[in-house]
Structures are given as structure tokens and as C-alpha cells.
Chains A and B, each alone.
Chain A
Amino acid sequence: MKKRNLLLAALVLASLPAAPALAGWKLVPHAKPIAVAKGTLTVTPDADWNRWSVRPIKKGEVWTLDGTGLNEVYFVSGLIVGETLYRDADKKNRPLPTLTKGMTLTDIPEFFESSNRIALNTSLFTVTGVEPAKMGERDAVKFNYEYAVEGSPLKRRGMAIGSLSGGVLYLISYTAPATHFYEQNRAKAEAIMASAHY
């Protein structure tokens, strides 16, 4: 009987998809400065967050409070010319835009929008506001956006801050469903952005 149970357990384990078994979440404690996305970008959250062990790109990192579907913070630290904002999953047919030489702050929202439209495969993506900001001591651009993905009535809202230094990009975005969740955790995301420096 025991043997059979073991066999069953082995079968169940074997049939589980591999990725979730490998993916993990680590607690990011509040009020402690932490370097993100394997780069020099450093933030100090005012709440406990969860960091995903899976990185969309080598220089990227994902945090969430309750699951990425409800709130997601994406960090990019030190993206250089020729690199993409997300993993270039369908490079042959739908290549993502790459960071180009001579980009300025006003190009960041355009780069972000185009990357997201292709990665999410949607045309329903709108940048709703663009204003100057600071990331630590450096000049930055802060922008807001909204989108919905194909086949879903759910509207998502987001805000992001981006900065360029010597053509190298540092970016933090916060995205959540427009109804309830965006506002619920906006202050916590803003605290991360306000504490950011590189």
C-alpha cells in the first residue's frame, strides 16, 4: 500500500509543470535598502514585498504584494543599447524594440509603450501623462498608462519612472487592475520609486 502511494506521489510530481516548481518567491523586507535587477539601481520599500526568482530579462526583476495579476512592480537596471525591455520571445516575427543610441527622456515612454504593445499583443495601450521627475539626483521621466489585453474586458493601469545615464536605462513600473487594486497599492509603489537611485 505504501509503495503504491509513493508511486502515486511520484506520478503526481512528474506530471506537475516544471516552471512553477522551480520558480520561487523571496520576501523583501521593508525599510531596508536593496539593490534590484542585478544592477546598481537601489530602492527602499516601505512595505514588505515579494521578489520573483524568475527574471524576465537578465537585468530585470519582478516584485508583487499579492500576485502579479493584482499588483506588479518591474525593475530594469542598466539596460544598454541593443537590449530589449522584456525577453524577445518571438524575435523572428515580432521583434521587440531595442534601446537605441541617443535616446532621451521623452523617448522612454515611447520605448515602453511599443515594447508593451508587442509583448502583450495589444493595440489598447495608451500613455495618459508624461512629466519630468527625479530618480535620486538624476533627471527622470514619470508617466502613466492604461491597457487591456486581447480578449479581456479588464483594464489595467500603471505608472513608471525612467532615467537615462550615458545611454543606459533604469526603469521602475507599477501595474495593477484599474478597478480598486491600482489605487489600493499606489502609495507603496510610489514609495519604491521615490526611494530609487542608481
Chain B
Amino acid sequence: MALLARSLRIVLAALLVIQPVLVETARAQEAAAQPAALPVAEEETYKPVDKDERGLWMDTEEGERQLKASQQVIRDPALNAYVRKVLCNLVGQGKCTSIRLYIVRTPDFNASMAVNGAMVVYSGLLLRTQNEAQLAAVLGHEYTHFAGHHGLRMFRQVKEKSAAAAWLAFTGIGLIASFSMAASLFSYSRDMEREADSGGLALMAAAGYDTREASKVWEQLRAEMDATAAVRNTKSRKDKNGGIFATHPPTAERVTNLAQMATANPGVAGATGLDSYSAAMGHWWPVFFDDQLKRNDLGASDYLLAALAQQGWSPWLLYARGELYRRRALGNDIADAEKFYSQGIEAGGELPELWRGRGLARLKLERPEDGKTDLNEYLRRSPDAVDKAMIAMMAGETR
């Protein structure tokens, strides 16, 4: 039984993240049974109140202990302070002090919040939310899961229904019944997601953000999936789904619902926090994008670059675009890459890698003299580069 409870908790952990698990239509709309009233889980002194909750806390605390030791956690005080500031603006100073924030370096779009108040934000999310209001939308969504005890409520549902489903299946008559019971669990999960979407938007409005930004997060994600599919020549996953076994509502539905909620509760129009967001992320975007560009997903990477370039193509954005095309190296990619590096240099870029990239591209374009000049310029600007010996050889070889 302990093993069952433990595996349920693991299933559960997968259910309450914001990841865009894609679904079709939420048909099963079984009313989500509310548990006995729980105190709001946001006070600093809050402690688990019963056996289920204590068990959940124990497991999440073990997970958090491992997370603390992980090399993936980004410990930069400035970045952590900024994300925490956005969170505190959203939920209030008193309530945010008990939340432990972990920013982890992984290029996926994701965030989650455990029942014990440990919040995990992926660097891939920070690359994809385009302003502070969009980040606030996601943080508010996760906080609503936490404050509403969604983790615990879900755990109880899973425990009750899976026990019943197992028994029904055992009797030999209940296969269909156990199937529909499992389906209703996922419906319950989707209902909590809807609750978190509306709760998150209300927090955004109260904190003075433009709530129209919430639906844009999902619109952007759908467009990114289209971009991935277009380059890979596959079908876009944006409307792909788990059907009745989906943990989250369809993204199309979320876009519509969030947009409607924003009309009813607009917050402060135009308050997107773009400048403060750009300032806080400026140092980290090149790092996060580097992780993204090495994922072999040119469509999504190019889409994200264009999104970041809304205020103009800065030299590092042009550099990143050059890297993207040079690494893919299909068709005209090398010639395009050479052009992007050149634009970056012309725009006043000082990143030594601009010359490295252009030099390597020019060598491939059979412009050995130009390539050699660029590679030497790279070595002059970056005398301690990790690849200096190799590049020096390439620069010399073409003399």
C-alpha cells in the first residue's frame, strides 16, 4: 500500500506542472468533489494537517533535497531576486516568504510548484515569456495550484479512484468502469488547471499587469510548435492531445478562456513590464538561447529569436541566428549564417564569436582569405578561447 501511495505521488507530480500536454476536447466533466475545507496553504507557519498531506510533504521534501544539490539550479542572486520580486508582487510579501524558488537550467517550457511550497521555474520558460506580465501569468498559475491544495486534492482523487478502479477491474465486470474512472481523474486535473488559469489571471490583475498577456503565452507556444513542425516537415503538435487522458485543457481552449477573462478583468492596460524583464534577462538570454540552439530544433529556435528581436535585432541576436544556421548547414544555411554574422558585426557587435562564426562560414563558402582574417580577429579578441589551438591551425592552414 505504501508503494502504491508512493507511485501515486509520482504520477501526481507529473500532473500538476504547467507543461503544455496537448489535449483535444475535455468531454468528461465530472464535478470535482471538494474535500473538507483546508486552511489556505500560503501562511509561513502552514503545516500538513493529515496523513495524506504529511506523506506528500515527505516525498516532495526528499525531491527538494535532491534539487538543492543539483548542478542544474541557477544560483545567480540577481536572477533569483528578480523572479522572486515578480512572485512577491503577485502574491504579497507575507505570503511569498515561505516559498522556495529554484530556477533550473533546462531548455523546456515548464514551471511547477510542489505542495510544500517549492517552486521550480525552467530557464526555457524565461526564454519564452516575452515580458514580466507573461512571467507573472505563469507564476500566478502555479501559485494558485499551491494555495488551493491542488496537489493534495489530486492525490486523494487518485488514491480513491485507483483503489476503486483496481477493485472493479478485479471483479472482471469493471474494465469499462475502471477506464472511465481513470478518465475522470484526468478531467479533475484539467478542472484544476482551469481554476489555476483563472486564479493566476486574478492575481495578475490585482498586481497591476495587463492581463491580455496571459493568453499570449499559449498563443506563442502554439506558434512555436507550428514553427518546429514546418521546418521538420511534420504535423504541428499544437492540437495534439491525450484526449480524455490529458492532464491539461487544450491550449486553444486556454487561449480563448484566458482572453475572455482578460476582457472581464483587464488589469492595467499596457503594463507588460517589458523593460524590467529585458534588463533582468539581458545577461542570461544568450546562455538560455545557447541551450536552445543546441537542441536541433531550428524552427522553434528561429521563432524564439524573432520573438526576442521584437525591439530590433541586436548583435547577439544576429550572432545567435548565424550560429543556428551555420550548425544546421543545409541548403543555403552557410551563406545565410555568413550574412547574419556580418550584420551583427556591422551593428557594432563586439562578441569575439561573431568573427569565429563568420570565419568558419567563409572557409566553407570557399573564401579562405576572408575566413583566415576573421579567425585571426577572433583569436586577437579572445586570446584564451577554449578552441584557440584548433582555430589557430585553421587560420594558418589557409594561408
- Point out residues on A near B: beta carbons under 8 Å: 92, 94-97, 100-107, 109-110, 113-114, 117-118, 122-124, 127-132, 141, 148, 150-153, 155
Contact = CB atoms under 8 A, between A and B. Distances in A.
B71 A124 contact: yes
Contacts of B387: 106, 109, 127, 129-131
Given A114-B296, A129-B389, 11 more contacts: A92-B234, A100-B330, A101-B329, A102-B329, A110-B327, A122-B72, A130-B389, A130-B391, A131-B389, A131-B390, A151-B66
Interface string B85-119: 00000000000000000000111000000000000
A123 B106 contact: yes
**Which secondary structure dominates chain A's binding surface?**
loop
**A-B CB proximity, top 9 nearest:** A130-B387, A131-B389, A132-B393, A123-B291, A130-B390, A100-B329, A148-B71, A114-B294, A97-B296
Contacts of A114: 294-296, 327
Interface residues of B, number: 30
B329 to A, nearest CB: 5
Given A114-B294, A118-B296, A123-B107, A128 B72 contact: no
Contacts of B70: 150-153
A65 to B, nearest CB: 26
B329 A104 contact: no
B75 interface: no
A157 to B, nearest CB: 13
Interface of B: 66, 69-72, 105-107, 123, 232, 234, 291, 294-296, 327-330, 334, 360, 363-364, 386-387, 389-391, 393-394
26 contacts: A92-B234, A95-B296, A96-B296, A97-B296, A102-B334, A102-B364, A104-B364, A105-B390, A106-B387, A106-B394, A109-B387, A117-B294, A123-B106, A123-B123, A124-B71, A128-B386, A129-B386, A130-B386, A130-B391, A131-B390, A141-B390, A148-B72, A150-B106, A151-B66, A151-B72, A153-B69
